[in-house]
Every structure is written in structure tokens, then in C-alpha cells.
Chains A and B, each alone.
Chain A
Amino acid sequence: MKSSGLSVWRSLRGAICLLVALYLIAPLTIVVIISFSGAPFLQFPPPSFSLRWYDNLFTDAAWGDALQVSLSILLPSACGATILGTAAAYAIVRGRVPGADFLYAVLMMPIIVPSIITAAALFGLYRLFDLNGTLTGLIIAHVVLTTPYVVATVAAALRTLDPRLEAAAATLGARPVASFRHVTLPLLAPAILSGFLFAAVACFDELIVSMFVSTARTRPISVQMWSNIRGDVDPTIAAIASLSFAFALLALLGSLFFTRRPEVDRSA
């Protein structure tokens, strides 16, 4: 009885995973196919094939510039958010901070406040320090906006971590930093990585705040895409989306190749 219940669960789980996989991959497939479409509309199936949208991307300086801006702000923002967020999460969950719930809510504020408000507010602030249309301005904005994702993810994982592990390390003579590095950090790694990924993707996709603090010369790819979409919807955006998909694919394959660790058997 136990094994049949388990296999029912496993089949159900497998079916759901398959459906989810299809659900997530289908739009992506459509995007890639359309990026090679010969039609000037977003049409599926495409009536003909052409590389002109990719050509658009490579010949139009605006796309190249936007891509450069996005790439320049991506790592600093995600790293900044991860560092600030992890530290904050650790302090809130482990440190005995008065009003921790309240502080957690405050740290979540950037994703609660409607982005148009944050956008207008930052625009006003940046004007005082001449930060509009600068990479620094964009990075600061994105760090602020994406830190909550890191805090949430890392805090969740920390709560499942037995604090006695660190206490034990301390008893054995490890100083706090070493205890963190050798005990907590490895256990927290998946959560920190998730947080980092969320921050990076949120930064890449972020539109409204970026729109407000960008200028013609310094704007990330999301604003560039929005400008294109407002004007006409042609497959150029499908081309850029396919490129980012290809980039992510390569990055993931690369990381899998380089981190071959013995897998723990957790089959259940």
C-alpha cells in the first residue's frame, strides 16, 4: 500500500512537471520561431523566414547601446543586492533585533510600493545629484528594487537552518566570520544563489523605474524594447528575447559543466 501510494504521487508529480515544462517552454519556442519570421507582424506560424530582425539589432546602434547598458548594470546590481540582502536577512533571522517583523516589512517595501511611485521619487532625488541618465543611478535603483527578493529567499532558508550548528562551531573555537564561512554559507548557498538570480532577472526586466531615470543615451534594454513595442510590434523584440534566452542557456550549460559535484541521493 505504501509503495502504490508513493507511485501514484510520483506519477502525479511527474505529470504536473511535464505540463509545467510545456507551459513554460511553449511561449519561449514561439518567441524564437517568430524571431526568424519574414512577416512584419508577430504572426504564428510565420509565413516566411528572414534574418532581418537580427540584422536590425546588430545594425541599429540604439540596441547595441542599450544592451551594453544592461550588461554593465546587471552584475553590480545583482551582487549589491545579494550582499546587502544576505547580510540583512542574517541579521533579522539570527540577530536578536527588536521589531524584526517590522524591519522585514520595511525591507520588502520596494516591491510593495507601486513602481511608478518609486520611479517618480527616484527621478526627483536623482535630479538633485545629477544621477539621471547615469549607470550609477541605474545601479542604485536596481539594488534598491531587487534586494527584497534576496532578503526573502535567504531569510526563508535561514529559518530552516539549525542555529545550533553555528553555536557548535563557536564552541569548538571558530570565530563568527569563520563559522559563517564554513558552516552557514555552504548550507545557505542554494538560497543565496536563488536570491542572486531573482535580483538579476528583476533587474533585467525592470521597466518603469528604468524608464524614468534613463535618458536617450543611457537606457537599458527593457526601456529600448518598450519604446519599440509602443511604436510598432515587430519581431525585433522577439530577436532580442531569443538572444537573451540563448545567453541564459549558454550560461546555465556552462555553470553545469563547471560544477560537477557528487549528487546526494534524495530520491523520494
Chain B
Amino acid sequence: MDFGSSALSTRRSVLAGLIGATGWLGSGFASPARAAGEFAGKTVVFAGWGGAYQDAEKTAYCDPFAKETGARVLQDGPMNAAKFRAMIESGAPNWDVADITIDFLYAGTGDNLFEKIDRSIIDTSRIDPKFVHEYGVGCIVWSYNLGYSTKAYAGKETPKTWADVFDLAKFPGKRGLGDNPVATMEVALLADGVPIEKLYPLDVDRALKKLSTIKSQTIFWATNSQSQQLFVDGEINLGLILNGRAYDAAKKGAPIAISWEQNIQSVDYLVVPKGSRNREPAMKLIDYMTMPANQAKMANLLAYAPTNPKAFADVDPQVSSWLSTEPGNVKKGFVINAEYWRDNLKKNTEQWTAWKLS
């Protein structure tokens, strides 16, 4: 599925030059010898989130994999957790590798939905250990950032911390937040002065109370594309946005910038559903994902940070300031507590829904 937008192709050709120049640094070391064409004739279905992100995953992971192993990779999606569950529960999933969010990783592990990561095929040592899970391998690190309109605040003081999002006097205009308790509640508590170390377990009532102070001035976006569109349309002046989305928007000329203060990091994982009929090639595809060169490609395309520390060597310096795992950025933020959300998502979502309607 080649969504060939011309902007992307220009970037690809630049990238090809970059990669060629630096060489395939660190690729192929310590991995088991692969016979070329070992999976010839096999088809692996990769399910992603669609759009530019999946495009990039195809270029960065699937194409090299297909080329070297002879397997065929089909792109499917968009990722829909309900469909994924239905598929797995029926016993014969037709997706072999899926890109999922960390909360689904935890939920799915609890419900026994995934195959155990096969370390004999995947070299997990390449990946930062905190991104390796028994049932999934972290592929990109991204973060919830404070995005703001450079047009609205041109020449004025720009918003820096979450408290600024709740300061209607100093930073007037509409704000944007995700229609999801995850990260939004953390944002509210941080704005209310709760220090990061004391954040979890979340004081949901306090968070909702804080959110109520800006509820009428807030637009709750349902999809990430919406969060971008809101900035482009000038509907909101500041708010929550994923760093990769902000990067994408800025690249395309939207007047948006982000602050790294109190950024909330999260990880996307690649998993193999239980019962996949192509388990081995699927695991192998994930292995290709761990290679530094491939991860660097992803980072350069979309500002989603690599989980393989060695990938930084190949990352375009201009992009690195947008990356969540860039050391300076990491220091200012924290990783979202996925275990807390695994245990409390249901309860918090119910309270969130009730609060929305009040």
C-alpha cells in the first residue's frame, strides 16, 4: 500500500542518501545467520495505524524484511482493538504482526491474546530493556506534549508547563485535550501542582475537578489527526498533542511548536497474536524492526523515537530535538505508568464518561 504523497517521496530520496552515506551501521551483528529467501512464498500481514505512520513502517521495517527473506508483507489496518480481539478470540487471526499501544499490550497480555516473544528469533538485546516485554517488543517511543500555536503567541510568552494550559487568563483561547482519561488526568494533576513522584495512583476526583475549570474552553479530540487539524484550523491555541503529530504538522507548515516540560512518554509495541499461522516469519519481521538502521529510518521520517539506543547514530540531527528519547527531552518528562492504567482504566473511564456528560 503505497500512499505516495510527493512530500514523503522527496524525504525518502534524501533519506536514502543519508542512510547510504552512513552505511548500515550496526546492522546484522549478533543476529543468527539468515539464509536469503528463507521465508520465500510466505505471506505476513502487518497491521498498523494507517496513513503516514504505516507508510513509514512499511518502508523502514517491512520492505527490508521482504527483500531479504523473500516473504511477502501485506499491509492491513487500520488498527482496531475490537476487531483484533474478535479475530484472536475466534482462533485464527489473519493479522500476523500488529502495532499496538501500551495499554492494549497490558490488557491483551492479561487476556492471553498474544504469542510470547521468541528470543531465539528476535534479538531483544538490541532494545533498551525497559521497552522489552514478555509479549511485545517496543518499536517507537512517543510522548504527550504541550503543543501551542506559534501564530497566537508570536512575540509573547509561550506556554511551557501543563499549568499554563489551565491558566485561562495568561493564555486565553480554546485548548485541546484528548477524549481519553489516559494522560489527560496526569496533565490535570501536574497542573494542579502534584509532583511527578507523587502522581500515581492518580487522584481521579482531584483531576476531574481541575479539568472542570477549563471544560467549557476545551475541545476534546477523538483522533490524533483531529488534534493536528485543530491547530491548523486555528481552533485551539494550545493543548495536548503527540510529539510525532506536532512534528508532522510543523513539517507541513502548520504554525505549531511543542514544549518538552513534563512530557509524558509512552511506547508502541509490536505483537504477534495468539494463533497466528505465520508465527516464525512474524517474529522475524519484529526482529527487523529492532535493527538500528531501520529504527533510524522511522525516526527520521516521523520523529518517533527509536527503542534501540544505537539507532541515534543514524538520526538526522534536525529531527532529534523532536524525539522523545533524546536525553534532554527524556529528563524533562516521565514514562506513563502502564501498570496503573491496566488496573484502573475501566474505573477511570466510567468516571470520565460521567464527568463528560455532567
A: residues with CB less than 8 A from B are 39-43, 52, 56, 59-62, 116, 119-120, 123-124, 127, 132-133, 211-212, 215-217, 226-234, 236
Contact = CB atoms under 8 A, between A and B. Distances in A.
Given A60-B4, A227-B50, A233 B78 contact: no
Contacts of A133: 94
A41 B232 contact: yes
B86 A59 contact: no
5 contacts: A40-B5, A41-B228, A227-B51, A231-B52, A233-B226
Contact of B4 (A39, A56, A227): A56
Contacts of B253: 39-40
Given A216-B45, A216-B76, A231 B92 contact: no
Contacts of A230: 49-51, 77-78, 223, 225
A166 B44 CA distance: 61
B7 A40 contact: yes
B302 to A, nearest CB: 10
Contacts of B53: 231
Contact of B225 (A43, A60, A123, A233): A233
A232 B225 contact: yes
A226 B5 contact: no
A127 B86 CA distance: 11
Nearest to B45: A216
Interface residues on B, range: 35 or more
Contacts of B90: 123-124, 127
Contacts of A62: 1-3
Interface of B: 1-7, 45, 49-55, 74-78, 80, 82-83, 86-87, 90-92, 94, 223, 225-226, 228-229, 232-233, 248-249, 252-254
B153 to A, nearest CB: 20
Nearest to B94: A215
B209 to A, nearest CB: 33
Contacts of B228: 41, 232-233
A233 B5 CA distance: 12
A33 to B, nearest CB: 16
A206 to B, nearest CB: 15
B232 A132 contact: no
Contact of A231 (B49, B82, B229, B252): B49
B250 to A, nearest CB: 12
A81 B45 CA distance: 33
B86 A124 contact: yes
A219 to B, nearest CB: 9
B83 to A, nearest CB: 5
A61 B2 contact: yes
A124 B90 CA distance: 7
B1 A42 contact: no
Contact of A120 (B54, B82, B229): B82
A231 B51 contact: yes
B235 to A, nearest CB: 12
A215 B229 contact: no
Kindly list the 9 A-B residue pairs having the minimum CB-CB distance in the complex, ordered from nearest. Answer: A231-B51, A231-B50, A216-B76, A227-B50, A232-B51, A233-B225, A230-B78, A230-B50, A62-B1
Contacts of B80: 211
A198 B87 CA distance: 31
